[in-house]
Amino acid sequence: MDGLNYSGTKVQFAVSMMIVLYFVLAFYPKYFGGGQEIIPFSLYNLYSMVPGDYNKMDLLVKDDCGVEKYLFYKNKDLNSIERKYYLRKLNDIRNIYNSRKHIDLDVDSEILRDIEGEVYLVKMTGDYIKTLDEGTFDTEIITRIK
Amino acid sequence: MRKIFNLFWSKPSYGNQSIFDTNHSFEKGYFLISLFYFFVLYLCFQSFTFNSQLPSWSEIINSQAYFMPQWGSGWLTILEWPSAVRFVYIFFLITALLGVVFWSRSRIIRALVALGLFQYLSLISSFGYADHFLTMMSFAAIMFVLLPNKKTKTYKPDFLKVIFGLQAIILTTYSISGIYKMIGLAKQLKRGVSSALSSNGMTLHSSKTSYFSGNEYFLQNYLIDYPGYWIPTLQVGGIFIELLSIFFLFKIGLHRIWGLILIIFHLAIAMSVGPDFSFHTLMIALFILFSPFGSDRYDLMNDVKLLTKKKASN
C-alpha cells in the first residue's frame, strides 16, 4: 500500500475520541445520570445480578361477568409497545407506593382510561420460577381504583 | 494520553505486518461496509413488515398516548403524531436507500443514514423502556461517518482504522458487561443469596424475562425440570466469554473464531434466557466473524491450524 505513513492522521484521532466518547456516554448515566441511559449507549449492568423474589404492582380488572384479569401479567392482548408502557407505569406506581405508602391514581389517566369494570391495584409477590412453572404468587389488594 | 493512543494504533499486527497495511483487508473491509449498509436497508424493510421483533408501524401510530420521548425523539411532539411517525419511517427509508448506493462517496450520506437509524431507534425506544438490540448497529452507523475521504493520502489505512475502532468498541462492550456480571456474582455470594453459581441462577433469569415478555423460551422447561451444576457451568462460561472478549481484539488471527463463539453465546441466550439480539449478532458476524483482518482467506479451520502451528513453533 505504497508505504503510507498513517500515524497520527485526523481519522485516527477522531476514531480514538469516538471510542472515549462512547464509554463516557455509556458510563455517565450509571454513576451521574440516575440510571436513565442515553440512547444509543446501553448500560452494561443488564443481567448482572440473578433476580431474587419479586415485588410488583399490577392492576386486577374484574369485568361485568366477574372474570378476573391482570393488566400486565399474562395479558396476551397487549402489543409490545403497550407491554413496555404498562411495565414502566406499574414500576413507577410501585416506586411511589413503596416510598409514600399511599397512592392516588387518576381514573382518567392513560393507564386507566380504556379499562372497563372494577379495577384494583394489587401487590404481587413471589418467586419468578414458581410463578412461571406453577402460576403461583401472593397478592394483596392495595386499593380499589374504580 | 497521546502515547496510549499511539500504542493502541501501532500494536495491531498479523504476520509481522501492521493490519492497516494490507490490501486484502481493505478489499474485505470495503465489502463488509457495503453489506452493513444493506443490513441497515434490510432493518428498514423489516420496520414496515409485521413479522419481526420490531414494533409495527401501525402499533406506533396508534400509540401516541403511550409516547414517553427519549432525548432524540422529543421533537416529534411538535408535529401531528401520525405525520411525525410517517416522517421518521420515510426518512429512514430514503436515507437507508441512499446509504446502499452512495455510502462510499459522501460523508453527508453516511451521516444521514446514522441520523435516520438513530431517529428510528429513538422512536421505538420512546414507550417506557429503551430497546437495546439496535444500539450497536446505530453506533456502527455513527462510527462510519468517520470513514475517510477517498482523495486523502491515507485513505486505505484510515478506512481500516475505523473498522478496527468499531471492533474495539464491540469487544470492550462485552468485557465491561462481563466485569459487571463478575461484580454482581461477588456481591450475591457475599450476601448469601442466589447467584450465577446457584443451580437455579439462569432459571431465575429465564423466568423473569418470561414474566416480562410473556414468551416461553426453547430451553426453559429443561432449566426448570433439570436443575444441576450444568446450569451454573453454562452461566459462568457465558460470563467468561464476555469477560475475555477484549483480549481477542489484538489477537488478530483469532477474530473469526471468537466471532463464532460470541454468536453461539447469543444463540444460547436466546434459547434459554430470551433476549433476542439477532441484529446485534449481524454486527458480530460482519465485523468479528468475517473480520477483514488476519488471513486473506476465510477458513475457520485454517485459523485453528495456524494457531496450533504457531503454538508448536513457540
Asked if the model's pLDDT at residue A109 lies above 80, the reply is no
Q: What percent of chain A has pLDDT over 70?
A: 93
If DSSP states are collapsed to H, E and C, what string results for chain B? CHHHHHHHHHCCEECCEEHHHCHHHHHHHHHHHHHHHHHHHHHHHHHCCCCCCCCCHHHHHCCHHHCCCCCCCHHHHHCCHHHHHHHHHHHHHHHHHHHHHHCCCCHHHHHHHHHHHHHHHHHHCCCCCCCCCCHHHHHHHHHHHHCCCCCCCCHHHHHHHHHHHHHHHHHHHHHHHHHHHHHHHHHHHHHCCCCCCCCCHHHHHHHHHHHHHCCCCCCHHHHHHCCCCHHHHHHHHHHHHHHHHHHHCCCHHHHHHHHHHHHHHHHHHHHHCCCCCHHHHHHHHHHHHCCCCCCCCCCHHHHHHHHHHHHHHC
pLDDT class of A107 with cuts at 50, 70, 90: low
Do residue A84 and residue B205 have CB atoms under 8 angstroms apart?
no
Asked whether residue A68 falls in the same domain as residue A31, the answer is no
pLDDT tens for each residue of B254-307:
999 999 999 999 999 999 998 889 999 999 999 999 999 988 888 888 888 877
Of the partner residues B121, B169, B273, the one whose CB lies closest to the CB of residue A19? B169
Asked whether residue A65 falls in the same domain as residue A104, the answer is yes
Looking at residue A5, what is its pLDDT?
Answer: 45
Looking at residue B305, what is its pLDDT?
Answer: 80
Of the partner residues B5, B72, B156, the one whose CB lies closest to the CB of residue A39? B72
Tell me which of B118, B147, B176 is where a domain ends. Answer: B147
Do residue A75 and residue B214 have CB atoms under 8 angstroms apart?
yes
Tell me which of A49, A71, A87 is where a domain ends. Answer: A49
Tell me which of B147, B181, B208 is where a domain ends. Answer: B147
Asked if the model's pLDDT at residue A3 lies above 80, the reply is no
Asked whether residue A15 falls in the same domain as residue A60, the answer is no
**A52 neighbourhood in chain B, CB within 8 Å:** 193-194, 204
pLDDT class of B314 with cuts at 50, 70, 90: low
For A38, which residue in chain B has the nearest alpha carbon? B71
Number of domains in chain A: 2
Asked if the model's pLDDT at residue A1 lies above 60, the reply is no
Range A113-124 average pLDDT: 85
pLDDT class of A4 with cuts at 50, 70, 90: very low
pLDDT tens for each residue of B34-76:
999 999 999 999 999 987 789 999 999 999 999 999 989 999 9
Q: Is residue B197 part of a domain?
A: yes
Residue span of the structural domain in which A3 resides: 1-49
Looking at residue B12, what is its pLDDT?
Answer: 87
Tell me which of B82, B112, B147 is where a domain ends. Answer: B147
Asked whether residue B226 falls in the same domain as residue B117, the answer is no
Asked whether residue B134 falls in the same domain as residue B221, the answer is no
Do residue A132 and residue B211 have CB atoms under 8 angstroms apart?
yes
Asked whether residue A103 falls in the same domain as residue A126, the answer is yes
Range B207-236 average pLDDT: 90
Q: Is residue B254 part of a domain?
A: yes
Q: What percent of chain B has pLDDT over 90?
A: 72
Looking at residue B126, what is its pLDDT?
Answer: 93
Number of domains in chain B: 2
How far B287 CA lies from chain A's nearest CA (Å)?
16
What ipTM does the predicted assembly reach?
0.85
Asked whether residue B209 falls in the same domain as residue B286, the answer is yes
For A82, which residue in chain B has the nearest alpha carbon? B66
Asked whether residue A17 falls in the same domain as residue A42, the answer is yes
Across the A:B interface, residue pairs with CB atoms under 8 Å apart total 186
Q: Is residue B9 part of a domain?
A: no
Q: Is residue B159 part of a domain?
A: no
The per-residue pLDDT of chain B, averaged, comes to 91
Residue span of the structural domain in which B23 resides: 19-147
Asked whether residue A24 falls in the same domain as residue A70, the answer is no
Q: Is residue B52 part of a domain?
A: yes
Asked if the model's pLDDT at residue A9 lies above 70, the reply is yes
Do residue B139 and residue A41 have CB atoms under 8 angstroms apart?
yes
Tell me which of A29, A49, A69 is where a domain ends. Answer: A49
Asked whether residue B143 falls in the same domain as residue B185, the answer is no
Asked whether residue A25 falls in the same domain as residue A80, the answer is no
> Comparing A97-111, B164-178, B196-210, which segment has the lowest mean pLDDT?
A97-111
Asked whether residue B122 falls in the same domain as residue B177, the answer is no
Asked whether residue A45 falls in the same domain as residue A60, the answer is no
Asked whether residue A75 falls in the same domain as residue A120, the answer is yes
Asked if the model's pLDDT at residue A22 lies above 70, the reply is yes
Asked whether residue A74 falls in the same domain as residue A119, the answer is yes
Of the partner residues B118, B152, B183, the one whose CB lies closest to the CB of residue A40? B118
Looking at residue A6, what is its pLDDT?
Answer: 43
